Amino acid sequence: MKYTEEHEWLRLEDGIVVVGITEHATEALGEIVFVELPETPIDVSKDDDVVVIESVKAASDILAPLDGEIIEVNSILIENPALVNEDPLGTAWFFKMKLKDDGELDGLLDEDAYKELIS
Amino acid sequence: MTDLKKTPLFDLHETLGAKMVPFTGYLMPVQYPLGVMKEHVQTRTHAGLFDVSHMGQVIVRAKSGTQADAALALEGLVPMDILGLGVDRQRYAYFTNENGGILDDLMIANRGDHLFLVVNAACKQADIAHMRTHLSDTCTVEELEDRALIALQGPAAQDAMATLTNATSEMKFMDVANVNLMGVDCWVSRSGYTGEDGYEISVPTSHVEELTKALLALDAVEPIGLGARDSLRLEAGLCLYGNDIDVETTPIEANLTWAIQKVRRNGGARAGGFPGAEKILDHIENGAPRRRVGLRPDGRAPMRDGTQLFADGTSDNSIGIITSGGFGPTVEGPVSMGYLPQDLAKVDQEVFAEVRGKRMSARVVALPFTPANFKR
């Protein structure tokens, strides 16, 4: 698993990267009440706003972690935004993407580096 | 951060695991470990305890010793019937300015030989200066710095209070009373800011922690932070000063005309005589250009304060603005309040809000979003 400084996690599965947000992020955001996902497929550049989530407190953007193409979104979250709080590392993934360059994953944080970031 | 004040319950909030944030000059609990959503539901279904000690507590007393003199003097600053406010009764009020705008909203209680006012934290210094400027000939205006204020709200509030006293169960909505709680003289009103039954309790600073701990020790009572306080008052259709009402909104625009008793309106025995009376009474007679309404977004996206409103999906000209908005945990969906032109301020009217560059439809609905649950 890889992480970004924006509190996203990335998991490489059969050449596809699954993206979600960390438990630390959901704790900071509070209960999620709204998720807006992009139409797919869509080409994205690193740091593009791709997902909007709203908690009981405020709206936040989730950014594209790297360049690539989002090929699938987790539509369950539209009907059940609370799943993000319940299972952020599992069933509440946000989108799947094909990276322009899989090698760029190596530039992201590993688990130890992310833990240090949030400690 | 060094300038932020702490309420007498600060240490208890920390012990309870609250997340503290700056709010109108105070470090206040925004939420406890329960979280905003569960705190909200707790208050609607059982009881919640709020620290509102940041609010201003003020005593206005007639120099003549005759309570009516203080009531009549205060009527020069608010468009309410204060002379007719019964002993041990409380009333919602607002200070108006010469333009008919609202300087602050407040509660005024008639406590027999003085008037007791509770004003917003952000406005309290200005309110006190305003009263001293205009009332000093006839009244003393005293800010109470040695009393804390807590609110116990929710359907279980009556039974929770009954564990400490038998004096509060029979109180009706907006009654006030001196009540001995745990050996201390407290000033209790049956009122609140959640749309639920409940009490607001003014208690000496020295005893507030003990009283709060006793209430929190009950199974039905949990501490509630500012986050849920805001979603509760929003669902109840209650205004937040600075968001939904301010110096730019007249009481009629703000849909608060109900708070102006007949005796202060045209034809009443003490009509006018408050700042901005001409404009306010004209708005009552002839209508105001815009009105505060409730809005239910058709989609799931919350429409928050500052969001512009439009008549349709394409036009460039904003027709109004959202002044409060978020997710309503009891409604289980997004809820907002905002201002619309008078001709569009009717139930079922469709309007469009621009959220992140996209036009999203919403409908005007009657307020409150959740039925009030007061002890009448």
User: Does this complex have an ipTM over 0.90?
Assistant: no
Which of B109, B100, B99 lies closest to B74, judged by CA?
B109
Residue type, B364: V
Contact between chains at A33 and B36 (C-beta distance less than 8 A)? no
pLDDT value at position B258?
Answer: 98
Question: What confidence tens digit (pLDDT) does each residue in B276-320 have?
Answer: 999 999 999 999 999 999 999 999 999 999 999 999 999 999 999
Asked if residues B274 and B76 have their Cβ atoms less than 8 Å apart, the reply is yes
Q: Quick check: B1 pLDDT over 60? A: no
Asked if residues B208 and B202 have their Cβ atoms less than 8 Å apart, the reply is no
Contact between chains at B304 and A36 (C-beta distance less than 8 A)? no
- The DSSP string of A52-109 is EEEESS-EEEEE-SSSEEEEEE-THHHH-TTHHHH-TTTTT--EEEEES-GGGGGGSB
Q: State which residue of chain B sits closest to A82, comparing Cα positions.
A: B37
> What average pLDDT does range B359-367 have in this prediction?
98
Which of B227, B263, B269 lies closest to B20, judged by CA?
B227
Asked if residues B185 and B211 have their Cβ atoms less than 8 Å apart, the reply is no
Asked if residues B375 and B171 have their Cβ atoms less than 8 Å apart, the reply is yes
Question: What confidence tens digit (pLDDT) does each residue in A27-69 have?
Answer: 999 999 999 999 999 999 999 999 999 998 888 999 999 999 9
Q: B187 — contact with chain A (CB < 8 Å)?
A: no
Q: What is the mean pLDDT of chain B?
A: 97
Q: Quick check: B98 pLDDT over 80? A: yes
Rounded to whole angstroms, the Cα distance separating B245 from A106 reads 53
Domains of chain A: 2-101 (2.40.50.100)
Domains of chain B: 5-53+146-235 (3.30.1360.120), 289-376 (2.40.30.110)
Q: B304 — contact with chain A (CB < 8 Å)?
A: yes
Contact between chains at B302 and A33 (C-beta distance less than 8 A)? yes
Residues of chain A in contact with residue B300, where contact means CB-CB under 8 angstroms, are 33-34, 78, 81
Question: Picking from A38-42, A53-57, B72-76, B145-149, which range would have the lowest pLDDT averaged per residue?
Answer: A53-57
Q: Between residues 72 and 91 of chain B, which touch chain A (CB distance below 8 Å)? A: none
pLDDT value at position A57?
Answer: 83
Distances (CA, A) of B262 to B21, B84, B284, B311, B321: 42, 11, 11, 35, 31
Residue B62, token pair as written in the block: 């007639």
> What average pLDDT does range B6-31 have in this prediction?
97
Q: Which helix (H) or strand (E) holds B192?
A: none
| Cis peptide leading into residue B302 (ω within 30°) | no
Q: Quick check: B84 pLDDT over 60? A: yes
Question: What confidence tens digit (pLDDT) does each residue in B313-340 have?
Answer: 999 999 999 999 999 999 999 999 999 9
Q: Quick check: A72 pLDDT over 70? A: yes
pLDDT value at position B139?
Answer: 98
Contact between chains at A30 and B302 (C-beta distance less than 8 A)? no
Residue type, A110: D
Contact between chains at B36 and A56 (C-beta distance less than 8 A)? yes
Contact between chains at A34 and B302 (C-beta distance less than 8 A)? yes
Contact between chains at B302 and A36 (C-beta distance less than 8 A)? no
Question: What confidence tens digit (pLDDT) does each residue in B231-275 have?
Answer: 999 999 999 999 999 999 999 999 999 999 999 999 999 999 999
Interface test with A, best of B19, B21, B37 (most A CBs within 10 A): B37
Q: Which helix (H) or strand (E) holds B258?
A: none
Estimate to the nearest angstrom the gap between the alpha carbon of A5 and the chain centroid: 11
pLDDT value at position B2?
Answer: 58
Burial of B366 (0-12, 13-18, 19+ CB in 10 A): exposed
Q: Between chain A and chain B, how many beta carbons pairs sit less than 8 Å apart?
A: 38
> What average pLDDT does range B109-118 have in this prediction?
98
pLDDT band at residue A84 using 50, 70 and 90 as cut-offs? very high
Distance from B353 to chain A by nearest Cα, in Å?
A: 16
Residues of chain A in contact with residue B37, where contact means CB-CB under 8 angstroms, are 30-31, 56
Rounded to whole angstroms, the Cα distance separating B254 from B268 reads 22
Question: What confidence tens digit (pLDDT) does each residue in B20-32 have?
Answer: 999 999 999 999 9
